[in-house]
Chains A and B, each alone.
Chain A
């Protein structure tokens, strides 16, 4: 608190007249305007527009048709497939990612292993998109490296069940490929927050490794684990680039549905349908991210 008040004391202490002081105060607030304006123009307005266009028709009158359109069976089905792709990849990503974090416990944070894994994880988790789709086409696509090896050497046809890589199931391996690294980035701090004193206390009281994990570590880590799981879900739910690069036909998940609503020129008023879909998506994202931050707050109790 004293630190926070210090600058104000410094400025008034010089015996500035109240008038000068208030002008300085105003100037201070002026300093905030560029950022405020920028965020207003390119974050607040687009978000409000995105969410509200769903409530209007093309000529500007209020309607609930678009929002009701979300509950059309075809649209609900895309929400459902978005949900299950996100859920499956989040669970697998979280479990594998947590294992990798566990394996890195006890290595030096500044060491070569950790810095390399961290950087690799960030690349794959956040910036891959289109490029990861390419990598998977080159690997398990029709003529992919693994496809060809399996076909020629083992007689296994990856595509016996159809062209699954270019449909919703094809999203699973690629999404897992960026979910695991995201888990590594978000879950590692929680795992490092486990204190060695807890293990010592457990041992002193006659506990075993098993009781350490079941009675101490897992309960302490549970909020972090679930909040990371939610973040992974949100990440998969909102990701667009990979799906756009893999799936060229149809709009089987919500982001692709938004694409087709945005670029469609055949059906009039579809742009407002994009607004309704965006609204649906935001509702899901807000709920998930709210859960994420609530759990994070709870988890941070153990990370002091």
Chain B
């Protein structure tokens, strides 16, 4: 016969109840109206709201995304490849890359300079400067193109002079680059202003006291603090630079193969009834947009950039 082992009584430490659990326990005991049910929507309302939001976003965002790629591959992969390796398409891709390669660095330097002067110094007209940085948001892309045609086109004094010296700006690549730079100049500045504001100047002052020069301080201290905000601004600026259509359409003059960027090539192919080719080029631009959104989503998670959201009101106030 086996002798039963003496049972060792289990000792469990009394678990601390958190304050929320206590209140939840009390609330559940005290019956309705319980605070828990009053701070949460009823289940049917929750599902109705989620359903509406998902339906709206699917209709306006997901459906167009699916449509671009469906239309692009409608006539098969062979024609898709043929469309994006066509000499006209390739020259449009080259001009788009060139435009971004010039406009984005220019606007990055501008953004750094503007954010530095606005967040580090007090001066009369600071609010006005903030408003001026937002200017392109208030100007229709078509008007953005128009002002450069008026300034640099053959009718103006400046344009006449340029013409006499055989310098083509309007209806040529330089015009496209200038118009693109105009449309995209706010983006880096607007991302950097709140980031620099939040980063403060304590470390910079310390660096200066320790004998750093202005450049050393900027490269070694400021830049590392704002790098993610800077990258964020550059990503957005680049997406807009490669995708600008209205302003570029006005200054390009539509010379086939010579002054077309990718968004213009999309229009020309479409108006030529080469729908699949138009959507093939469009799919490349859509891919760029998706990569931009992905990069944005990743950067959004970074701690330094979280302040951006909460500062959205103050930031626009700065521009007031």
A and B: interacting chains = no
Residues of B within 8 A of A (CB): none
Residues of A within 8 A of B (CB): none
